[in-house]
Amino acid sequence: MKRLTLFLLGSILAAGQNRPPVVVELFTSEGCSSCPPADQLLTRLPRAFPDIDVIPLSEHVDYWNQLGWTDRFSAPLFSARQQDYGQRFHLENVYTPEMVVNGMAEFNGSDWNRAQQEIVKAAHEPKAVLAIQMRSPDTAHLQAQSMPQGIRNVDLFLAVTEANLETMPRAGENGGRLLRHTGVVRSLTSVGHLDTRKSVSYSADAKITVNPQWSRENVRLVWFAQDRSTRKIIGAATVRP
């Protein structure tokens, strides 16, 4: 496996790609005692790949909230997104911690070796060209073009994430334990759809809302494109507002 990883990474560099983006989603919860190691792994991943732009999305599900601790970062939207992946991967039940790499593979979020393998594999896949830039403090310009061949319907999403967050639950399975999070998805919005039979590119401005309670220096905008039929993430870009 190590030889395969090195071979694929070498192929990426040989192709001249400039830090290909890979979106790593972690479905987690502060009420789950198995999740803190996965949260820590997600924090380590971006630093582990200097030649790949690993983009962490920590999505806190809400179905653990009834078991003693309400996760302040949780939302039904993330539980629904995980259920959608569950159907895509033919799972009997969703679980935490679950990691999904570029919508292509899912596995236990604490599995470091599998995470490395899937990230390198995803970096080697064909990518759309996405760009995001700030026009003003509350407006981002979004562009998407050069979709990989064979893809017809593309869903376009914009996430607002925050890093360097800490919580010490007073109850539940992690009661009294200091939890650290990165890439916590504060909002996830569907901003558009691209039918490649009608148009080969997408361009739009998006209004950005950053809650004053969030630490702006830790906020990141994540703009990504996802194949509607396979849920494969085919391109991504980030910017700090």
Q: Which CATH class is domain 2-239?
A: mainly beta
Tell me the C-alpha distance between 28 and 78, whole Å: 10
Residue 95 DSSP code: -
* Alpha helices by DSSP H, the chain: 2-14, 36-48, 76-88, 112-123
Q: For residue 73, which phi and psi values (nearest 5 degrees)? A: -100, 0
Q: How far is CA 176 from CA 168, 194, 197, in A?
A: 6, 46, 54
Q: What is the pLDDT of residue 15?
A: 36
Tell me the whole-structure pTM to 2 decimals. Answer: 0.92
| pLDDT tens-place values along the chain, 241 residues long | 444 344 344 433 333 348 999 999 999 999 999 999 999 999 999 999 999 999 999 999 999 999 999 999 999 999 999 999 999 999 999 999 999 999 999 999 999 999 999 999 999 999 999 999 999 999 999 999 999 999 999 999 999 999 999 999 999 999 999 999 999 999 999 999 999 999 999 999 999 999 999 999 999 999 999 999 999 999 999 999 9
Answer positive or negative: Cα dihedral of 111, 165, 138, 187. positive
Domain ranges of the chain: 2-239
How confident is the model at residue 11, as a pLDDT? 38
Which residues touch 50 (CB under 8 Å, ≥6 apart)?
Answer: none
What's the pLDDT at 18?
84
Please tell me the predicted confidence (pLDDT) of residue 10: 41
State phi, psi for 77 to the nearest 5 degrees: -55, -40
What is the pLDDT, as a whole number, of residue 2? 40
CA dihedral 110, 229, 199, 209 (to 10 degrees): -40
